[in-house]
C-alpha cells in the first residue's frame, strides 16, 4: 500500500471525525445548510474509503462530490473569518477559540483530501488513455 493511499484513508477518517464533532458541538439544533454540507462530507469520505478498500479508480462523480466539499470548506472559512473578526472587534474570545481550533484543521483536511483525490483521479484518467 502506497503512502498516497494511506494519506487518503487517514484524511477520510479525520474528515468524518471532524464532521461528526462539528455537528455535535455546533449544529445539533440547527436546520441550516451546514447540515447538508456535513452530510456531503461524511458521504464523500465514506465513498472514498469504499473505493480504496475495493481498489477501484476514482471517477468523475468523485471529483464532482469532492468539489461540493471544497465549497463547504469555503463556507467554513467564511464563518471562521467572521468569528475571528467579531472576536477581535468586541474583544471577546470565550468559546470562539474552540470553534476556531476545530474549524481550521477541518478546512485544511477537506482541501488537502480533495487535492489528493483529484490527483489520484487524474492518474487514473492518464493510465486509462
pLDDT tens, position by position, 72-105: 999 999 999 998 898 888 877 777 888 889 999 9
Q: Show the DSSP H helices in the chain as ranges.
A: 3-22, 33-53, 60-90, 96-128
Residues in the chain: 129
Q: What is the pLDDT of residue 94?
A: 75
Residue 127's φ and ψ, nearest 5 degrees, are: -80, -25
* Residue where the block lists cell 456531503: 40
- The conformational region for residue 97 under phi > 0 = left, psi -120 to 50 = alpha, else beta, is alpha
- Half-sphere exposure at residue 128, Cβ-oriented, CA atoms within 13 angstroms: 10
Q: What is the pLDDT of residue 25?
A: 83
pTM: 0.87
Amino acid at each position: 500500500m502506497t503512502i498516497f493511499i494511506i494519506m487518503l484513508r487517514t484524511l477520510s477518517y479525520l474528515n468524518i471525525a471532524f464532521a461528526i464533532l462539528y455537528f455535535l458541538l455546533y449544529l445539533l439544533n440547527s436546520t441550516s445548510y451546514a447540515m447538508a454540507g456535513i452530510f456531503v462530507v461524511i458521504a464523500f469520505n465514506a465513498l472514498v474509503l469504499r473505493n480504496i478498500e475495493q481498489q477501484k479508480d476514482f471517477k468523475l462523480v468523485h471529483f464532482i462530490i469532492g468539489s461540493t466539499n471544497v465549497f463547504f470548506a469555503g463556507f467554513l472559512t467564511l464563518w471562521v473569518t467572521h468569528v475571528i473578526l467579531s472576536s477581535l472587534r468586541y474583544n471577546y474570545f470565550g468559546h470562539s477559540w474552540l470553534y476556531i481550533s476545530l474549524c481550521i484543521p477541518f478546512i485544511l483536511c477537506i482541501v488537502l483530501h480533495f487535492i489528493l483525490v483529484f490527483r489520484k483521479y487524474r492518474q487514473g484518467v492518464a493510465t486509462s488513455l
